[in-house]
Structure 1
Amino acid sequence: MKTITTLVAVIAATCAVSAQALTQQPLTLAPQQVREWREDITFYRSALAEHHIDLYHTASKAHFDEELDRLVARLPELNEFEVVFEMMRITRLVGDGHTQFPVMAGPHQHFPLKFRIVDGDVRVFAASDAYGQYLGAELVSIDGVPIDAVLETLSPAVQPAENEYGLLHSLAFHLTVDNILYGAGITDEYGSARFVFATPDGQIAPEQINSVSMGDFLSQTTNVIERRSPFPEPDLALSDSLWLSTDQASRTAYLYFSSYPDLEDMTLFAQSVSRHLETNEIRNLIIDLRDNGGGDFYVGLALSSPILMTDSLDWNQGIYVLTGRATYSAAMTNAVHYRQLLNARLVGEPTGGNPVAYSELGSFHLPNSGRMVTFSERYYRLQTEVTHGVQPDVFIQPSRDDFLAGRDAALDWVLSDIRDGHN
């Protein structure tokens, strides 16, 4: 949970990889590449067994070794992307979200769309300017493969996926990754695919879309269907991923927290938040963790410490934490902390991370491919009951109608509860 930032840093570094270097169609492995991957898989097998706290807690050693042996035998007939997809699938057999063979830690490209799975539909919630007309549209197929079959193919491999909620989030993200779609045998060629959409007005729209580098993916997918802040402008902001806005009329503050800064910056920001809440006599505080995939939970505790000293807040019913399928690792842990320390009510979906699970991310690199592998070093029991995700106090299931209308059902419930005097 604390060391997930290691993976984030590696992923960020790959944004610099040029799209040009990835556009060549992958070929079946050459004999030298086969030998190198065999060495990598041998190293992977021994290093993972050495470093993981309990490698065979879900899949038996016999089954795990059998899958690796089968992959080694197939190497001469596979290309690089197919090998990576198989390594992802086999690593998923370990059965914990911090043990990964992350495609994002190597060169990768994305289609300039972002998806969300709502009421069983795969919907476009963000897109580049070229495809902004598909916001809200349902994804029907990719290169002729029906979307249900696409999801079935990807489900055993996408990461992380500690429970069904986290799986939905990971599936939606990996639908954008060109390498994965090609490696899984879904797309016909690398670099381009035919997406078919059903638009909200009932039209069927095919579109041939080219993939782009991750840097372009992040900068281009700026047309978004949803809203986040209930109030106009932030009063305090450390970054785009950590800021506070307030509404004087309802004496309510909304704190958006989607990634972790360093401890010093968080401490200073939290002190400013506490002073601002006290000065403005804020009674209600909403902490939004729905987009937070993890970091250092001790930094999250540094946020709560000054807030605990804020006497203006309604400590009986006025603290809320929004959670969802993307709330993972340290953010999941901090959701539990805030429920305990701040007397917060959790509202939204269960978290994508499990509160009783293997955790704390370690890593090593394969000697030939340089691919990163992560593993769990600890086991946490954040509650006595084993559940799929941290269960919210108020479960708000996102609906298709809410999504298409741009309504934030969980946030709307909280604001209504505040208006009604916490009835």
Structure 2
Amino acid sequence: MPPARLLIFIGLVLVLASCAARPVPAAAPQPTAVPPVVPATATPTPAPLQDSLAQRAWRDDLQFLATKLRERHPKPFYRTTAAEFDQAVRALDAAIPSLTRDQIVVGLIRITAMIDGHTQLPLNQPALGFHAYPLWLYWFSDGLYVVDALEPYRASIGARIVQIGGQAIEQVSAQLLPLAHHDNTMSARSVATLFHIVPEVLVAQGLIADPARPGIVLAYPDGRQATIDPAPITFAAYRAWRSRGLQGLPPRDDLPALSHLREAFWFELLGDSQTLYIQYNQVSSQTQSGERLSAFSRRLELLVAAQAPRRVVLDMRYNGGGDNTTYGPLLGLLQRNQAFNQPGRLYVLIGRQTFSAATNFVTELERSVAPIFVGEPTGGSPNLYGDTRPQTLPHSQLVVLISARYWQKSTPGDQRPAIEPQLAVPLASADYFAGRDPALAAALADQR
């Protein structure tokens, strides 16, 4: 079967496109943190453990995966029909004799992505042996940009990705999007960004021919363009560099919302002393410094009693979830205290990374406090599947995470894919690179 048709059977995988650059864009600020260790940059080679797998072994793994998705997931076909799922499995099974190892893996990734936002075949597992170009990408409202990079590619920061492998970035992204595990279009876009920078995925999808020459075309703010071929690094090294996670924006000291991303929760009174800004970055019982959420909530209650701020901004944009059994102290405070729970008082910033347990929290707020949501739609659904359990495929030893529990935090009939903001505020690249936060500015300017 021709390779092009095989790629259609398989679908696509989430990979970040990235770049490094020769020219230096004067307008692009440099993010604050550069990893202390720059790993070796060898051209990726096939993972030897899996290259010897027979066609029968891959077919067994595929059928094992299909069976376990049916058995372990509470409702595997809540958005994809059983017929569509079975057709995808049959198509991949028929194609296996003509596929490379990485094309088969991409096919498995696509099948898991059909289920929900938590069920997935993670890229950062040793059995895969994948690599990544040392670029950190982010989709702004005006395109896909490099927001951070390892040396020698840091000159690419601030550039927009125009092409990969001779194809327009829009075409590349359209092929990668179906590989993203997601609850909605926001989480799909967020997850798929990573796959633009994984050479094995790009080759498997026919987007590039040589992992050493991805042909990433950059457009700089001053109008210049450059083509770069970043040397791949191991995925383990890439994951270590992006220590907080594989989605979102890098830390930045000059933007309050990005300056404390490694703290689970923190707060400050903004300059006018009329606005209390709270950032909730991880659904956890305590911060890295050891403060428990219950003690944090008591400090908040004492502060609002003493300072009586006119407005409260709760920033949930970079909260990808955690343990939803821990958020009770903060939720209870927001529900019972009139400093928070009254019309026009509480603004909640949400976005594509507001996911999983963070969406549980936001959904409960929506029902009990009626805050004003600002920013982008959430990456998670009001009612969602989560609490994944690992399942190891018997031959390849690849690990798949399968959602095992349904979390209903809204009404039973609520089928919304996301919680939408009342004040929709997209983030443009120019705002980010200039150090502006339009969502926070919109919350502060609102006169309700």
TM-score normalised per structure 2: 0.77
Partner SS for 1:196: strand
Partner SS for 2:172: helix
- Hey, what does 1:390 align to over in structure 2? 419
- Hey, what does 2:29 align to over in structure 1? none
Instruction: Kindly state the Cα deviation for residue 320 of structure 1 after the two structures are TM-superposed.
Output: 1.3
Q: Is 1:156–2:183 an aligned residue pair?
A: no
Partner SS for 2:279: strand
When residues 385 and 31 of structure 1 are mapped into structure 2, their CA distance, relative to the original with a 3 A threshold, is closer
Task: Give, in whole Å, the separation in 1 of the partners of 2:314 and 2:94.
Answer: 50
Q: Tell me, yes or no, if the aligned pair for 2:282 and 2:319 is still in contact at 8 Å.
A: yes
2:281 partner letter: S
1:182 partner letter: V
Give 1:250's match in structure 2, choosing from 256, 259, 273: 273
Q: Deviations over 1:241-261 (max 9, x none)?
A: 432222263332222222232
Q: Deviations over 1:89-138 (max 9, x none)?
A: 122233x2222222234543322222222335212222234333323311
Counting only pairs closer than 5 Å after superposition, residues 191-202 of structure 1 correspond to structure 2 as 193-202=214-223
Give 1:370's match in structure 2, choosing from 392, 397, 401: 397
Give 1:399's match in structure 2, choosing from 421, 428, 443: 428
Instruction: Kindly state the Cα deviation for residue 201 of structure 1 after the two structures are TM-superposed.
Output: 0.8
When residues 303 and 104 of structure 1 are mapped into structure 2, their CA distance, relative to the original with a 3 A threshold, is farther
Task: Give, in whole Å, the separation in 1 of the partners of 2:171 and 2:265.
Answer: 38
When residues 314 and 67 of structure 1 are mapped into structure 2, their CA distance, relative to the original with a 3 A threshold, is closer
- Hey, what does 1:338 align to over in structure 2? 365
Instruction: Kindly state the Cα deviation for residue 385 of structure 1 after the two structures are TM-superposed.
Output: 4.5
Give 2:71's match in structure 1, choosing from 46, 50, 70: 50
When residues 276 and 188 of structure 1 are mapped into structure 2, their CA distance, relative to the original with a 3 A threshold, is farther
Of 162-171 and 194-203, deviating more is 162-171
Give 1:268's match in structure 2, choosing from 295, 303, 318: 295
Give 2:133's match in structure 1, choosing from 83, 98, 111: 111
Q: Deviations over 1:309-363 (max 9, x none)?
A: 6565574322111001121111112112223344421111111112244444333
> Which blocks of at least 5 consecutive residues in structure 2 are unaligned?
1-38, 243-248
Partner SS for 1:155: helix
> Which blocks of at least 5 consecutive residues in structure 1 are unaligned?
1-17
- Hey, what does 1:318 align to over in structure 2? 345
Instruction: Kindly state the Cα deviation for residue 70 of structure 1 after the two structures are TM-superposed.
Output: 2.8
Give 2:439's match in structure 1, choosing from 389, 405, 410: 410
Q: Tell me, yes or no, if the aligned pair for 1:258 and 1:293 is still in contact at 8 Å.
A: yes
When residues 58 and 249 of structure 1 are mapped into structure 2, their CA distance, relative to the original with a 3 A threshold, is closer
Percent of residue pairs identical: 25
Instruction: Kindly state the Cα deviation for residue 33 of structure 1 after the two structures are TM-superposed.
Output: 3.9
Give 2:226's match in structure 1, choosing from 185, 205, 220: 205
Instruction: Kindly state the Cα deviation for residue 213 of structure 1 after the two structures are TM-superposed.
Output: 3.5
Q: Tell me, yes or no, if the aligned pair for 1:194 and 1:207 is still in contact at 8 Å.
A: yes
Task: Give, in whole Å, the separation in 2 of the partners of 1:92 and 1:30.
Answer: 24
Task: Give, in whole Å, the separation in 2 of the partners of 1:226 and 1:184.
Answer: 38
Q: Tell me, yes or no, if the aligned pair for 2:322 and 2:356 is still in contact at 8 Å.
A: yes
- Hey, what does 2:121 align to over in structure 1? 101
Of 138-147 and 19-28, deviating more is 19-28
When residues 357 and 306 of structure 1 are mapped into structure 2, their CA distance, relative to the original with a 3 A threshold, is closer
Q: Tell me, yes or no, if the aligned pair for 2:41 and 2:232 is still in contact at 8 Å.
A: no
Q: Is 1:169–2:190 an aligned residue pair?
A: yes
When residues 224 and 398 of structure 1 are mapped into structure 2, their CA distance, relative to the original with a 3 A threshold, is same
When residues 293 and 105 of structure 1 are mapped into structure 2, their CA distance, relative to the original with a 3 A threshold, is farther
Count matched residues: 397
1:406 partner letter: G
Of 349-358 and 60-69, deviating more is 60-69
When residues 126 and 224 of structure 1 are mapped into structure 2, their CA distance, relative to the original with a 3 A threshold, is farther
Task: Give, in whole Å, the separation in 2 of the partners of 1:192 and 1:405.
Answer: 32
Instruction: Kindly state the Cα deviation for residue 230 of structure 1 after the two structures are TM-superposed.
Output: 6.5
1:242 partner letter: F
When residues 53 and 328 of structure 1 are mapped into structure 2, their CA distance, relative to the original with a 3 A threshold, is same
When residues 275 and 392 of structure 1 are mapped into structure 2, their CA distance, relative to the original with a 3 A threshold, is same
Q: Tell me, yes or no, if the aligned pair for 1:125 and 1:226 is still in contact at 8 Å.
A: no
Instruction: Kindly state the Cα deviation for residue 216 of structure 1 after the two structures are TM-superposed.
Output: 3.9
Q: Tell me, yes or no, if the aligned pair for 1:115 and 1:125 is still in contact at 8 Å.
A: yes
Instruction: Kindly state the Cα deviation for residue 214 of structure 1 after the two structures are TM-superposed.
Output: 4.4
Of 216-225 and 296-305, deviating more is 216-225
Task: Give, in whole Å, the separation in 2 of the partners of 1:167 and 1:230.
Answer: 23
TM-score normalised per structure 1: 0.81
Higher strand proportion: 1
When residues 48 and 266 of structure 1 are mapped into structure 2, their CA distance, relative to the original with a 3 A threshold, is same
Counting only pairs closer than 5 Å after superposition, residues 273-292 of structure 1 correspond to structure 2 as 273-292=300-319
Q: Tell me, yes or no, if the aligned pair for 1:109 and 1:177 is still in contact at 8 Å.
A: yes
- Hey, what does 2:100 align to over in structure 1? 79
Higher helix proportion: 1
When residues 32 and 108 of structure 1 are mapped into structure 2, their CA distance, relative to the original with a 3 A threshold, is closer
Task: Give, in whole Å, the separation in 1 of the partners of 2:295 and 2:252.
Answer: 33
Task: Give, in whole Å, the separation in 2 of the partners of 1:57 and 1:308.
Answer: 32
Instruction: Kindly state the Cα deviation for residue 381 of structure 1 after the two structures are TM-superposed.
Output: 5.9
- Hey, what does 1:9 align to over in structure 2? none
When residues 175 and 270 of structure 1 are mapped into structure 2, their CA distance, relative to the original with a 3 A threshold, is farther
